[in-house]
Structure 1
Amino acid sequence: MDVEILARIQFAFTVAFHYIYPPLSIGLGLVMVFMEGQYLRTKDKTYEVLAKFWTKIFALTFGIGVATGIVMEFEFGTNWATYSRFVGDIFGSALAAEGIFAFALESGFLGVLLFGWNRVSSRVHFISTVGVWLGSMFSAIWIVVANSWQQTPAGYQIVGEGVNARAEVTDFWAMVFNPSSVERILHVWIGAFLAGAFLIISVHAYYLLKGRHVELSKKAIKIALGIALISSLAQLVTGHASAEVVAEHQPAKLAAMEGHFEENAPADLYLFGWVDKEAKEVTGLAIPGGTSFLTHQDFNEPIRGLDSFPQDEIPTQINAVFQFYHIMIAIGMGLIGLTILAAFYWWKGTLFDQKWLLKILVISVLLPQIANQVGWFTAEMGRQPWVVYGLLKTSNALSEVVTANQVLFSLILFFVIYALLFTLFIYLLNKKIKHGPDESPLKDQRPRQREVSNAFSN
């Protein structure tokens, strides 16, 4: 393999591994806010017990997410020096904003969230939980803004020429609100809400099947299912909005996502299929003109196909982009169906009696994670061969002195270290889940409640 392929594999691997954890932190943070809010509203200790339990798991995901995120910043300098020089002004602004507006907020309240249960009032602790959750949300904003600028550059000028060329910010807010940033931020947020909500649903469905923590689990699933239902439906809206932005600003990516080759013809909407790049055809089940309808509300409206672009400016892995995109769509529709089905049984009052459905909910934790991963693969592979769309090609963004052997060696080391980290994460997560929430505060509460009841009866 040459150095470009190895460097891309290394960065894809580290990003994919890191991206397991921030969505979980954001999603868990939202559910924890609702749990603590319910405790403040009702004074029901059950919600406090749930919040304490999930705070421990939040801390685990947050810690590994921070550790794995640092690595990517070093990779910019080691493997992608030309790219770093080109986007340094843009990324510097976005990452500085993240430090000021997000990390400071998140780290400022994190200690109170983790260690302040018996040291501050319930209201102050709730505010701290909200602060940490908002900090993680703001952090996602600036990371997505930086990535979105690479997809749809705006608010910049090019300074210098050749290898010394770089993008310089001319309008900070135009850079922030570039054509794809808002839609992509919403899409990422909602994907994170689904990841966190389904982790909670999965764990508490497992408890119900085992007959453990039954009352706690019913209340936890009620909160998480509500968030999952709303988020899955909202993801359909944000996904469509993101696709419309792609159609307008990255037409080659849209053509790859749907395997559309003809230069100027209506584009079909494939439910599933397989792309033959050499034959320039797709074998599968499609709605004729469906993509044209979703894009222009007209089944017969032409859409630019891959044949209308220079062949060195279209994705090289068209079938991979097609498959990843359709996996994401299939999972998204599956999550809508699953949450509606679970909500229907909950409305009938029989959800917790449906063991077959609880078993499905246990393994459903994997679905949002897979959808988040393949969604990013679609976005990044569909952008190729550009690392900054229309401005800088990936092949021109590499460090000039790094060798293939150096990248391969570091890739192997990263794989070993990340495998150990993932094994540790699964071990600790499994240990915390098997231990379960500490229900002793609830047991201590019941004798006092009986004493009060007896006092009034006497």
Structure 2
Amino acid sequence: MFGLDAFILARIQFAFTVSFHIIFPAITIGLASYLAVLEGLWLKTNNPVWRSLYHFWVKIFAVNFGMGVVSGLVMAYQFGTNWSGFSQFAGSITGPLLTYEVLTAFFLEAGFLGVMLFGWNKVGPGLHFLATCMVALGTLMSTFWILSSNSWMHTPQGYEIHNGQVVPVNWFEVVFNPSFPFRLLHMSIAAFLSSALFVGASAAWHLLHGNNTPAIRRMFSMALWMALIVAPIQAFVGDMHGLNTLKYQPVKIAAIEGHWENPPGEATPLLLFGLPDMEEERTKYGLEIPKLGSLILTHSLDQQVPALKDFPKEERPNSTIIFWSFRIMVGMGLLMILMGVLSLWLRHKGTLYRSRPFHHFALWMGPAGLVAILAGWVTTEVGRQPWVVYGLLRTRDAVSGHSDLQMSLSLLTFIVVYSAVFGVGYYYMVRLIKKGPEPVDHLPSSTTGTPARPLSAAGESLEQEKP
């Protein structure tokens, strides 16, 4: 396929499936906690606006959750089918960690999800709120175990190697490996920001279409407070994560910065833009700020950052890719901070719900969190190359022995099936968002009636969508 061998096709296939998958957990992690907040506010104030928002977003949460589970199962099978060398080498570490995720997070979510989605009219409000909180906790626990497993692949510790296989000797060190705390915080906050931008964009769409109800205003306001407060925190956590990466994966930092060599006695500049060339071993058309690279990465004006030429060619990741993926991630983060600051200014002026240019900005920022997550994962995973377990197992040694034809056909199948199945899911979700929250006088009772059915929510009422 396009002249690519089975190894490259296997990498593309996994990148394709994981890119589809990560979108859904990112939204469900944030929405689950958002739903817990909405229901808690309703129980505390008895304000029907909070209940209206809960019923609206729980339907969208259900669609995301279902698609996330389906796409996640496919990834798990790929470890055995396409990356059998990795499974044989590190399965004794990653297998139990993923099992712990199933035994804790997945079982917790499965146990309470039915009550959360269908039990509104069947159980008491306290028990229903508990179910919502448990589902939110389950999404965070799932993040914990997945990030622990992936982080161990970046900074492995707590193991020994016997007969060519990894054997765990200290599970505490395995789970709490050096990069895990920073990556867990970074990804969790990214999920909350992605959900906030998703909620804010949905509200902005309704405001632009004249739907200026109390429910729309509340969810717009909450999303913008989240961006204002959490986006700067994410920048601080990202800085700590960068310092950790500099310590344990310095070649990745050199590739991210497009930094090739250190002249004696000179501090490292920050390359804002440029085009790293892996063959010529230089970054063309570079726009740099002197000494700023040293200041950001070492918090000093004289220490040098490791350069790509300090490492053998075969151990260098592709700087051309991660140089730009990192800048896309940072660019999205700066736009989030800008949106939060602008929202504060508009609140002060009293025009937050009337500023159409800002509403357009918030609408276009809707996918920014997901774009930043995808760019961040590209930076992380491409930056780890050529290792699948850093310093222990090369990616080429982890791939299964499939032919080029087999990998081409399976990749094409994934592209067709994913585009069809998840395309329908996206379309359905957009219709739900356009429908908007129900008026408070149309809400189901909390004690009578039949349970809400989120997967059949786009029925007759969707034919009456607002313009």
> Which residues in structure 2 correspond to 1:281-300 (within 5 Å)?
281-282=282-283, 283-300=285-302
**1:35 maps to what in 2?**
38
1:154-207 deviation per Cα after TM superposition (whole angstroms, max 9, x unaligned): 1111111xxxx1111111110111010000000000110011111111111111
Stretch of structure 1 that moved more, 132-141 or 336-345: 336-345
Q: CA deviation at 1:117?
A: 1.1
Please state if 1:339 is matched with 2:340: yes
Query: Secondary structure in 2 aligned to 1:365?
Result: coil
Please state if 1:439 is matched with 2:439: yes
Stretch of structure 1 that moved more, 235-244 or 225-234: 225-234
**Preserved CA contact (<8 Å) 1:31 1:224:** no
**Separation of aligned partners in 1, 2:384 and 2:32:** 31
**2:360 maps to what in 1?**
359
> Which residues in structure 2 correspond to 1:391-410 (within 5 Å)?
391-400=392-401, 402-410=402-410
**Separation of aligned partners in 1, 2:12 and 2:80:** 16
Q: CA deviation at 1:444?
A: 10
Please state if 1:76 is matched with 2:79: yes
Instruction: Classify 1:409/1:443 alpha carbon distance in 2 versus 1 (closer, same or farther; 3 Å).
Output: closer
> Which residues in structure 2 correspond to 1:373-392 (within 5 Å)?
373-392=374-393
**Separation of aligned partners in 1, 2:178 and 2:336:** 28
> Which residues in structure 2 correspond to 1:205-244 (within 5 Å)?
205-212=204-211, 214-244=213-243
1:230-259 deviation per Cα after TM superposition (whole angstroms, max 9, x unaligned): 221111011111101110000000000001
**Separation of aligned partners in 2, 1:271 and 1:57:** 38
Identify which of 311, 321, 326 aligns with 2:313: 311
Stretch of structure 1 that moved more, 425-434 or 379-388: 425-434
Structure 1: gaps (5+ residues): 446-458
Normalising by structure 2, we get a TM-score of 0.91
**Separation of aligned partners in 1, 2:101 and 2:131:** 19
1:382-407 deviation per Cα after TM superposition (whole angstroms, max 9, x unaligned): 1100111100001111113x111111
Q: CA deviation at 1:442?
A: 6.0
Please state if 1:104 is matched with 2:103: no
**Preserved CA contact (<8 Å) 1:152 1:249:** yes
Larger RCO, structures 1/2 (Cα 8 Å, 6+ apart)? 2
Please state if 1:202 is matched with 2:184: no
**Separation of aligned partners in 2, 1:314 and 1:54:** 44
Identify which of 13, 21, 26 aligns with 1:10: 13
Query: Secondary structure in 2 aligned to 1:351?
Result: coil
Q: CA deviation at 1:116?
A: 1.1
| Identity across the alignment (%) | 39
Query: Secondary structure in 2 aligned to 1:19?
Result: helix
Query: Secondary structure in 1 aligned to 2:203?
Result: helix
**1:273 maps to what in 2?**
274
**2:418 maps to what in 1?**
418
Q: CA deviation at 1:308?
A: 0.8
Stretch of structure 1 that moved more, 336-345 or 259-268: 259-268
**Separation of aligned partners in 1, 2:82 and 2:442:** 54
**Preserved CA contact (<8 Å) 2:262 2:268:** no
Please state if 1:372 is matched with 2:373: yes
Stretch of structure 1 that moved more, 426-435 or 304-313: 426-435
For 2:7, give the aligned amino acid.
E
Q: CA deviation at 1:348?
A: 3.2
**Preserved CA contact (<8 Å) 1:45 1:442:** no
Identify which of 59, 68, 76 aligns with 1:56: 59
Please state if 1:126 is matched with 2:125: no
**Preserved CA contact (<8 Å) 2:259 2:307:** yes
Instruction: Classify 1:111/1:320 alpha carbon distance in 2 versus 1 (closer, same or farther; 3 Å).
Output: same
Query: Secondary structure in 2 aligned to 1:353?
Result: coil
Please state if 1:138 is matched with 2:141: yes
Determine which structure has the larger helix proportion and give its number: 1
**Separation of aligned partners in 1, 2:441 and 2:282:** 63
Normalising by structure 1, we get a TM-score of 0.93
Query: Secondary structure in 1 aligned to 2:353?
Result: helix
**Preserved CA contact (<8 Å) 1:207 1:214:** no
Q: CA deviation at 1:34?
A: 1.6
For 2:357, give the aligned amino acid.
W
